Structure 1
Amino acid sequence: MSIFGILKLFQKELNASTGGNETFYTTAKAFFTLNYDSELEKKLKAESMKRKYEHVSIFYQEENEKLIPMTVETLQWAEEMSSGLLGRYEKNPIDLIFMDREHLQKLSNLDGVSGYYSNFDKVMGIHVHPENVESILETPLSYFQRPILHEYAHYATFRKIEEAGAFADLFPLWFIEGIAEYVASDQTEVHYDVNQYEILPLESITWGDGWKEARQIETADPYMQSYLSVNYLIQVFGEDILVELIQKTNDTEGFYTVLEKITGKPVAEFEQEVLDYYR
């Protein structure tokens, strides 16, 4: 198929996923840069100030400028943690945008989130309210640094998956979110009790619909469960297991097949071992 034909197919898929009617120029730009800018993203960036840090473009409001030094420091921290877990990967350009709750929810299509990463848009959204700047500077970890650590870990994980020649949708969301929670929990004492919340089958929090439903279960905590599963893998098998799972997962060797080969356990037995490890 010619490059023109490939771009026309990509344009069709792009319009289907965004609900828009993108021009051929916009389609080509998104295809060759691997970065699509939605209308909301364009609007937010146009209304913001910009600071460049290595491969990250930080878009912020004037009243939030005090947060820039801490943002750079946190990005350095996130990169150190992510590369320590995943090894080297090419650092393609990415945008980080400070935004209010309304815009973050609209961009992520999720309620109650403080951060968001879209691998399709190559954008991280971080909730920052201008009235909270001073309190963020006093207690930065929970309400500002942790979301940046989490979302940057998503970026690094997807870069590693792409370089392995795999597709992101081959990997369970509990694995993706577990890596991000592990990075975000650095220098934090994690308190957990597997008897305090409902334990969900890992296969039920593998894909998007199941994950969204799990977030609405008041007695469950899919983020904590994801962290516990990934932390168990690292503590028992070593950090290299994450890269091994990424590199060996493909269309013919699905994630759960590779997981069973490495751990010696099918997923149901693996998740029971995880629970036993923390009890």
Structure 2
Amino acid sequence: MNTFIWVLKNFIYFLLVFCVLFVISVCIHLFFNIKISTSYSIIMTLVSFLFFCFCLYLILCPKKDFIFIRSGILPFILLTISTTFLSIYFLSINLMIATELGENLTIEEKYQLYMIPFQKKTVTLADYREMKEDKLTSTYGHVDIYHDPEEIELIPIIEDSLDKADKLTTTIFGEVKDNQIDLILHSSTQELYEKTSLIETMGYFDDPNNIIGIAITDKSNILADQMPQSFYFQSTLLHEYTHYRLQAFIKQQGLYVYRIPLWFHEGVAEYVGMYNVAHKYYPFQEVEFVNLDSHQDWEKYRLENYDVYLQSYYGIKYLVDQYGESMIKTIVIETAKENDFDKGFLKATGITIDELQELYVKEAKQSYTE
């Protein structure tokens, strides 16, 4: 009975102290800038680990003077282990933010990033490694192409598309420092879905892992340059590569990638994917641009009766027609200066998002019915 009370009492002490340290850590990481919170994480990691080593020394030390200390050493060891892992967790997220996402994040954005490991993931690094197993690898510039042996005939087409994507995105964004990226070919849209759980899509770009995936809808028609399969394959590749280049450019400005709303990301990617493609305007169900900000928003409307890709394309196409392709780059740069998309957009274009909403459909009707 005494042992049970001792264990319970020490466990309660451990929980109380850990909860206090946890709250302090969360507050520091949410309310202070990245440099301060990162320094705090490093210090806490080192201090916790040193205390852990000291506790082990006390346990192994044969001196009887430490007997009274040993009686409460186990909960203290548990506390040092817990705080060490907690600090490493925050430190790893902070390093990702500092190196990949920019430092000027809001409290809400930081919270979302700290919660990433607890959110449902559709694809992991292990999944990507499995996808690439037993595939051949062809390297073109900074792109490693993973394909099955029978898909090797597609490599020249892919290389031409990458050249076109590189040329177009360089014209729009200027020179961008490239990372080595992986391009995984999926034998069909069904296989892509089975591997990634992405619904009704022919491609994807995974930013943190620098991975592009493209589905092959009909290899024979793609090789024969038959429409529409050939166009969709190349257009999807241009679209996903543009996502990569746009996000690399945004990071180059020291801006958080998703400070730019998703409709802008997708609109720019569609603009490059549909470059110089003429098609007639047709009516579509529209949604407010302010409701196409996040991935959750996008997926909600994409899977309903809204053509969010076409709408975003028309929005970007209107801006290009009115101000030139350089406006895409200017909007990103002004957003970085203001650390706010609405303010940066207004400063760059002289119009608000609401005004764009009123203008772009009218312009699209005129342009595509002529």
Q: Same fold (TM over 0.5)?
A: yes
1:110 aligns with 2:198: yes
**Aligned positions of 1:220-239 closer than 5 A:** 220-239=306-325
Residue type at the aligned position of 2:182:
D
Q: In the aligned structure 2, how far is the partner of 1:19 from the partner of 1:238?
A: 39
Which structure exhibits the higher relative contact order, with contacts defined as CA atoms closer than 8 Å and separated by 6 or more residues? 1
**Cα RMSD for the two superposed structures:** 2.4
Q: Is the 8 A contact 1:172 1:207 kept in 2?
A: yes
Q: 261-270 or 223-232, which moves further after superposition?
A: 261-270
Alignment of 1:201-216 (within 5 A): 201-216=288-303
1:123 corresponds to 2:211: yes
Q: Is the contact made by 1:74 and 1:148 (CA closer than 8 Å) also made in structure 2?
A: yes
- In structure 2, the residue matched to 1:164 is 253
Residues 84-111 of structure 1: per-residue CA shift (max 9 Å, x gap): 1111101111000001434422555431
Q: Measure, in 2, the Cα distance between the counterparts of 1:217 and 1:54.
A: 39
Going from structure 1 to structure 2, the CA distance change for 1:104 and 1:236 (only over 3 Å counts) comes to same
Offset of residue 248 of structure 1: 2.0
> In percent, how many aligned pairs have the same letter?
25
Say which SS state the counterpart of residue 277 (structure 1) adopts: helix
Superposed counterparts of 1:44-193, under 5 Å: 44-99=131-186, 100-106=188-194, 108-128=196-216, 132-138=218-224, 139=226, 141-193=230-282
Amino acid across the alignment from 1:119: D
Contact 2:184 2:212 in 1 (8 A): yes
Distance in structure 1 (CA, Å) of the matches to 2:43 and 2:131:
32
Cα shift at 1:187: 3.9
Letter in 2 for 1:74: S
Partner letter of residue 156 of structure 1? Answer: R
Question: Per the alignment, do residues 58 and 3 of structure 1 end up closer, same or farther by CA in structure 2, a change over 3 Å counting?
Answer: farther
Q: Name the CA distance, whole Å, in 1 between partners of 2:43 and 2:317.
A: 43
Deviation (angstroms), 1:119: 0.4
User: 1:140-184 deviations in whole A, cap 9, x for unaligned?
Assistant: 532311110100000000010010100111011110001110111
Structure number, greater radius of gyration: 2
**Secondary structure of the residue that 1:228 maps to in structure 2?**
helix
After superposing the two structures, state which structure 1 stretch, 245-254 or 169-178, moved more: 245-254
> Quick check: 96-105 or 199-208, which moved more?
96-105
1:23-34 counterparts in 2 under 5 A? Answer: none
The SS at the match of 2:139 is: strand
Going from structure 1 to structure 2, the CA distance change for 1:250 and 1:85 (only over 3 Å counts) comes to closer
The count of residues paired between Structure 1 and Structure 2 equals 259
With structure 2 as the length reference, what TM-score do the two structures score? 0.65
Distance in 2 of aligned mates of 1:87 and 1:19: 34
- Listed one character per residue, the Cα deviations across residues 214-260 of structure 1 (whole Å, up to 9, x for unaligned) are 11222x21001100111111111111111111122149531111112
Task: Quote the offset at 1:7 in angstroms.
Answer: 5.4
Counterparts in 2 of 1:66 and 1:7: CA distance versus 1, 3 Å: farther
Supply the AA of the counterpart residue of 2:318: Y
SS in structure 1 of the partner of residue 178 of structure 2 = coil
Q: Is the 8 A contact 2:223 2:230 kept in 1?
A: no
Judged with a 3 Å threshold, the aligned counterparts in structure 2 of structure 1 residues 157 and 217 are, in CA distance, closer, same or farther, namely same
User: Is residue 118 of structure 2 the alignment partner of residue 16 of structure 1?
Assistant: yes
Amino acid at match of 1:85: I
Q: Deviation string for 1:36-61 (max 9, x for gaps)?
A: 96111001112210000010000000
Change (3 A) 1:256 1:238: same
Unaligned runs of 5+ in 1: 21-35
Counterpart contact for 1:202–1:267, Cα < 8 Å: yes
- Alpha-carbon distance between aligned partners in 1 of 2:119 and 2:337, rounded to the nearest angstrom: 22
SS at match of 1:249: helix
- How far apart, CA to CA, are the structure 2 residues paired with 1:88 and 1:221? 32
Are the equivalent residues in 2 in contact too, given 1:256–1:267 (CA < 8 A)? yes
- Contact 2:267–2:312 (Cα < 8 Å) also in 1: yes
CA distance in 1, matches of 2:319, 2:268: 10
| Structure 1 residue 198: Cα displacement | 1.1
Q: Which has the higher helix share?
A: 2
Q: TM-score, normalised by structure 1?
A: 0.85
